[in-house]
Amino acid sequence: MMDRGLPIVATLALILFTVELAASQERTTDQVAVTVSILRDQVVAVTAGEGLVSVGLTSDDRLLGIEARGLNALVVTSTRLLGFSAQVQRWSEQRLNLNEQVLDRKVTSRLILVRSDRRVFGFQGTSGGFWKVEDLNRLGDDFQQILVGAHVAVVLTNRRALAFSAFTGGFFIKDLSTEDPVIETTVNDNIVILSTVNRRLIFRSQLAAWAELR
């Protein structure tokens, strides 16, 4: 008997190959670097042109990390997240709650994703340089992994998949079943595929929705 799953797999492979090829032709080179002033009271973003954009550090800011890639830069302190977009030439602040701990950070050429012990934060350098926030403290949520491509990221728990795109606003959430868990994941620059025994869940960077194949 013919395997009914084969056409689906072939179609998904074609989608991945086509988008990967298109994305590879539009790679974003690094456009920003970040440095700390000698007095350590300012963080300065240095862009490829003539731009020097600074943001002040307070006495409460204990510097925990700096990372820059493509159009984006991220500074993590003990009290806040600072995201920089080379496109709009500005820093954007996201405050952390009291005793909130940053656990993961992912910086690509087009987006930033940060996970704390309470929330997940997404930053879109190509869409105005704003932070988006989603709670991760929902009852029953057990964090599993983060999947990241150049333009898309997904935070996976046992009950939800939280997708974030460099091009569409906010987080897009897909509920999962603990009785039909994710057993395989695929990610490239623009597409994330979550496979369970019974279905495949697809998120694409240009669309503000999950698609489902059975």
The beta-carbon contacts of 133-137 under 8 Å, at least 24 apart in sequence, are 133/94, 134/162, 134/171, 134/173
pTM, rounded to two decimals:
0.84
Collapsing DSSP to helix, strand or coil, 181 comes out as coil
pLDDT tens for the chain, 214 residues: list them: 434 444 444 444 444 444 444 444 356 678 889 888 756 689 999 988 777 899 999 999 999 999 999 889 999 999 999 999 998 899 999 999 999 999 999 999 899 999 999 999 999 887 778 899 999 977 778 999 999 999 999 999 999 999 999 998 789 999 999 999 999 999 999 999 999 999 999 999 999 899 999 8
pLDDT of residue 51: 75
pLDDT of residue 15: 40
Sign of the alpha-carbon dihedral angle for 91, 93, 99, 104? negative
Judge whether 154 and 203 are in contact, CB under 8 Å: yes
Q: Which two structure tokens, joined as six digits, stand for 47?
A: 């862009």
pLDDT of residue 28: 65
CA geometry: angle 29, 35, 37, nearest 5 deg: 160
pLDDT of residue 101: 96
Amino acid at 34: V
Sign of the alpha-carbon dihedral angle for 60, 155, 170, 26? positive
pLDDT of residue 32: 87
- What secondary structure, in 3-state letters, does 28-83 show? CCCCEEEEECCCCCEEEEEECCCCEEEEECCCCCCEEEEEEECCEEEEEECCEEEE
